[in-house]
Amino acid sequence: MDDKWEFYKDKAGEWRWHRTASNGKIVGASTEGYKNKSDCEENARRNGWKG
């Protein structure tokens, strides 16, 4: 089953992502916040997100 990718804004208003496996465990996450969603998506692509 495919992992679920979620993009969201943190409390500082910056974009972040996390990746959840089919068993519900988070298996990846951004290590920093991004001002632009496109920068966040590019970081996720480098980590396996197919977009």
The pLDDT of residue 1: 65
1-51 pLDDT tens trace: 689 999 999 999 999 999 999 999 999 999 999 999 999 999 999 999 998
pLDDT at 2: 86
Q: List Cβ<8 Å contacts ≥24 apart for 7-12.
A: 7/37, 7/40, 7/41, 7/44
- HSE toward the beta carbon, residue 35, CA cutoff 13 A: 0
What is the CATH number assigned to the segment(s) 4-46? 3.30.160.160
